[in-house]
Structure 1
Amino acid sequence: MKTFKFIIVFFCCFYSANLFAQTPQAIEADLLRIFKRVNYYGSHKKEWKAIDSLQKMNKIFGFKLKYYTSKYPETISYPFTEIKKERVVIATSADGLFRTYSWDTRLGSVGYDFDNVLQFTANGKVLSSLKMDSVGKKHNPVFWYSKIYTLQSGSKTYYLAAYNSVRSSVDATQGVQFFAIENGKLNGAVLLVKTPTGLHSKIYFDYDFLSVVNMNVIPTIYYDTKTQTIHSPLVNAKRQVTRDYIVYKFTGKYFERVKN
């Protein structure tokens, strides 16, 4: 019965979206209205039935965001200033062809629980996909994208998406995931890192989040476009983030570690 009710609500929302959301401003207003409910129920989730409403609002927001970012091409360059104020994290590539939308579902019991919409342009069309990776799936990644770097190599364009995850006070991750738009699709598993263990589609490190909470400036993984190097903070044996960095340089085909 709950599923049936959600389907009815879902289609009503999309019917209204087709009627009224014709401009980016109207789209943002509709999304903002729903996401404010996510934040409201997230702040009251310990109350009776609030968790059910929170789950419902997250689903509606995710599906609507995917719908709008697929149907309206202009959304890929629209700033969505008001949604950002509500803590939806939006990262866009320098060429404007790839964008990520990440939001805290407020469903996490200890750490943060994020979902993502990935939007991209391929063959003149704007497409998007919804990644609801974490809800009810204990072992899937729970992260948000904070920045997208662009790497041009010959005729190939690669996107280096920096991401973060905080699953508890002692369990966190930073990393860079490699993307490419290929054959009309978004490939999020580009093997661009070469290590002694083989080829990989990510560079990342796990760490104790408590080791950075008192730092004025938290060391973060980043890409230097001029030198084509990825700098990843070194973590010691106690899983504490240090001020030293491991460096990976792009050699024309792969990122490989530079000897310190």
Structure 2
Amino acid sequence: MTFEADLKTAQQELTALFAEAHHAVAFTGAGLSTECGIPDFRSPGGLWSQNKPIPFQDFLAHRAARNEAWRRKFAMDTAFSGALPGRGHVALARLLEEGRLAGIITQNIDGLHQASGVPDAALVELHGNGTYATCLDCGRRYELAWVRERFEAAGGEAPDCPACGGAVKSATISFGQAMPEQEMARAAALSEDCDLFIVLGSSLVVYPAAGFPLIARRNGARLVILNREPTDFDPFAEFVARDDIGDVLAPFACPAL
């Protein structure tokens, strides 16, 4: 039966579960990065309460939508450019390094997992990465500094790809945009093969990403949920914890003795 663990109990239970697991997987959401000064999306004052998301089809169809998308992007980047990995990011990187974690599936686009030392081979970015841009037609990569320079020089006009004329977009997945097939397949494989699945800072309401904990549970994995608010998956978990994720994972951020 699921129980709600206090901080000390959550740390003890996680330690025991990691000791027993052979193939543990972490699933991270926006709640992991709030400690780093990056607000989440759905809570009061979150990003979605301030700006309605721009659908992918609108981005493709209307230059005004592309202009607004880049205006918002650069405003957020300016506000959160100093964000550094938190204790949760550091702990997960350490667990990977020690072989106690097989991989990380993330809904986050902030690049903080990589900044904490997580290699690309161990990370599945379901919703893309907001630290660079790509052409939607030819796939060419562009650094954000390049896009910003041209955006500002044109008075807030989004640049097109010089190579093919296609729309340039941050390398993230927008509403209405197809999920990345390769990353979805990698996430499914990790979820099917794991024996411990730990959710960290996700409300588990955005599908298809939110389906991976259920895949893991149906394949016999033990499920743990660390999230401020209740989720629909709480009844299927070994335990849930409402404490700050950085506090819960702080002991795992230190090298094993």
Q: Scaled by the length of structure 2, what TM-score is found?
A: 0.25
Write 1 or 2 for the structure with the bigger share of strand.
1
Write 1 or 2 for the structure with the bigger share of helix.
2
Higher RCO (CA 8 Å, separation ≥ 6 residues): 2
Q: Scaled by the length of structure 1, what TM-score is found?
A: 0.25
